[in-house]
Amino acid sequence: MTVVEHHHADVSGGWLRAATFGAMDGLVTNIALIAGVGGGGVSRHTLILTGVAGLVAGAVSMGLGEYTSVRTQNDQVAAELDKELRELRDNPDGEADELVAVWTARGLPEDLARQVADVLKHDPEQALRVHAQEELGVVPDELPSPWTAALSSFVCFSIGAVIPLLTYLMGFDSLAFALAVGGLGLFAAGAVIARFTGQGWVRSGLRQLLLGAAAAGATYVVGMLIGVGVA
């Protein structure tokens, strides 16, 4: 008998969402920031200072935000698991009835559902795992790491935010060139995201490019208006 192995992407961890959100936020934030101050007619030095400040502030904020978000979520899940474990120990028959009701509602024969539930109620730890998946939609020993999410977000935000600064750091003094490089970064990021989602890379890249362009256009107009008003 041949065993067919199926390989799936890891969708349970916190790194991919944090990395994707971090990279896109870094790109869009600094592209829009540079477009805004550039529209106000500031110097190259001021643009670099603004972009670097935005990079550092944004990366730290994203890292702290991801850590706090994932840690809070994990703490909430842990509290629910403790509650569920107490219920399994205090009322195993009632918890078994809950599983039977869930499984029969999905089309499983009641006698089979009852047999499995009765076996599980004698093993609270294993029953907890099943109840967590059925009622909470989580796997207790596969919760995302807050440190992984924080580091992924921090690093990817920094990478994304530095891309529209590259041309200025290399000595060029053209806002259009910087925004064009940032646009290429947005398209590339969208294409990479498509690798994980299975979507078309051109469509995904263009979607991210259009979203970033809209943000840059809005801040450029604001910067231009404020710059003219100040002058």
pLDDT in tens, 180-201: 999 999 998 888 888 777 778 8
Residue appearing with tokens 């404020």: 226
- Higher per-residue confidence, 133 vs 227: 133
Residue 228 has pLDDT above 80, yes or no: no
- Per-residue pLDDT, 210: 93
- Per-residue pLDDT, 1: 45
Residue 2 has pLDDT above 90, yes or no: no
Q: Which two tokens stand for residue 164?
A: 């529209």
Mean pLDDT lowest among 5-19, 110-124, 203-217: 5-19
Name the most confidently modeled range: 5-9, 210-214, 224-228.
Answer: 210-214
Residue 220 has pLDDT above 50, yes or no: yes
Averaged pLDDT for residues 65-91: 87
Provide the pLDDT confidence category of residue 68 given band limits of 50, 70 and 90. very high
Averaged pLDDT for residues 200-218: 90
Averaged pLDDT for residues 86-92: 82
Averaged pLDDT for residues 60-89: 89
Residue appearing with tokens 């750091």: 169
Residue appearing with tokens 């698991």: 81
Residue 167 has pLDDT above 80, yes or no: yes
Distance, in Å, from the CA atom of 164 to the CA atom of 172, rounded to the nearest integer, reads 12
Q: pLDDT tens, 22-49?
A: 888 899 999 999 999 988 888 899 999 9
- Per-residue pLDDT, 34: 93
Residue 105 has pLDDT above 90, yes or no: no
How would you write 25-58 as a 3-class SS string? HHHHHHHHHHHHHHHCCCCHHHHHHHHHHHHHHH
Q: Which two tokens stand for residue 198?
A: 């299975």
- Per-residue pLDDT, 6: 44
- Per-residue pLDDT, 126: 82
